[in-house]
Structure 1
């Protein structure tokens, strides 16, 4: 797997070829009284959550299952009927006065150049809604310069932009976000095998971070994207429930075929490995693609929501005197592999040669992992600061250290 840093602005035909201009949409609905716009699935999910809070879990589950089926068929009439029949209200106006459902494209567009175009739309350019297309248009450049043989992957980390109508839930859904995507190019006919391999590899990666395995699950897509023959999400149990963290898709050869058609340039790979069935080289073909796509911001949110804890250390009135003594501390229980500072070295006092011993420990450990030295304030306050930073290990240098190196 090799890395790439593709352009944020690409030729607008790129997005026509990829299908984003025509298909990168979300169904939306407006409340006529408040003028507030909702994503249809979010409106129904919020209503289902309210049902669950009332103890109507079965009714909520049935509603969500029906929604998934209707979305898979793009049955907007059925979705509108569901909203009307259940008398779903706008959170602002508290009315059920809804428009018809319509599609809304999620790409941000702007204009390039200074001259006014003679034809409307000729100078439109889009901010990339995903990093994947930058990999596809550079596929042969990377393959040839790196002399790569299939199977191989191209990966990148970078900004993506989506015109989300409702950006909410902290960093879970944003209009500007960081993606980590990998496109893995395979021989046609082997995509199912590689799809299962990458599902397993990606789950292993998540578990290697030290996050609880019980917090993860796979969710197979009911409705496949226009480019996929198989797709699933790795979902994580956030405080707001199980939500998508990473997508794994078998994209077939759709993207490379489309870019070949629109660019008039061949996207074929020559495979000189022998086909055991024919005894001849596989020859020219357009590779199939397995994609893994994860939102870095969502991964950060998953880690923080698992690790962050506020501990109440208040003392009741009987123990603290006549009044209750309020106290609390923040503890960031980061898995050690993710902690930015692995070790804090803390001399008990600033004198008696203890800082010099602490400095020796720092110098011995610094080449191997990030260390932190602090001698200011009491040892208890320093421990608390390290708790708040998520530092897994603290070494205290005291007077016994001078005697026996412990």
Structure 2
């Protein structure tokens, strides 16, 4: 009888794992590999800030789960995980309803032999009053598209106001000095610089105010301090106001209240501070960390049940007694690869190998302006990059994700398609 491997979550780690297992075990009918996600398409999460700013048309980068499953030997089910029954080894998927509330599919139960949770993470609001009500988040394609819609409306409003002779500025506030916040700030500057090409000539960088607020004493704590300072300096040269060591105490409509100093007024507020697992994991009877991450052992099995695994942002895996694997795309990729190898080893009656996280460094892109990063980060060796070399390295991260999903040949074809689209498509998405 075929073993059923169920993977919940089609992010970077979940989709890569489903594809690898489908190729190896699904096609040969050694296992029935099932991927479940609440969306029909996949978009690499580090691209969401580009979707939000209009630098990327998401339709050009989305991957259809059903198409991928047909090519690589796994099955795809649309659904949202609602509950886990560890004793019966079953999960329940919530009912699916259309925009009018009409039920499309009733709630369903699925059995599993191995359950792999790869549900990702969401932005942490740290209990700050008003964040959920008055801020935009960039945790999903839907949220990125929603912010882009609001941004376009603000572009139109402010451009018309300036044309009518008013002294108007578009004010945007971003909370969180990690990669998402920094990259979004730069992309917004770049987007506004292109507006005159597409019929909005009055709104330019002089009429734009972008404020980046970070509670810590510096931006990008994952990077060396020298690079962090370099990024802050570059953002300031682009006109971004950088506020450090000053946490947000409350968010009201169009206002950030800071622990110190005057409140910040903004037409749009984006909250990009911190990562935690979704609250729904509390209902699944698994041991968690304080940030909702699921505790796993060195083989990525949950400490609550050895037939349930967790990878990516939702997994709490120790590096040592003091450190945990950080919630990054490279972590999800490494976990997916390690778990794939261990499952295959199990089929070959070999003992599993513990997961060992290798910090490959961090890369941050400041839109078309520059990029910075460091490689091979360790106590004994670290290499820093800035400028063109860092931009190439940053672009290669996405290509490596595509290589895992499609292989080398198709990756190169997709690269050529993207190059051609840059020639024939607008440089900014304005719809």
TM-score by length of 1: 0.23
Structure having greater relative contact order (Cα 8 Å, sep ≥ 6): 2
The TM-score with structure 2 as length reference comes to 0.22
Larger radius of gyration: 1
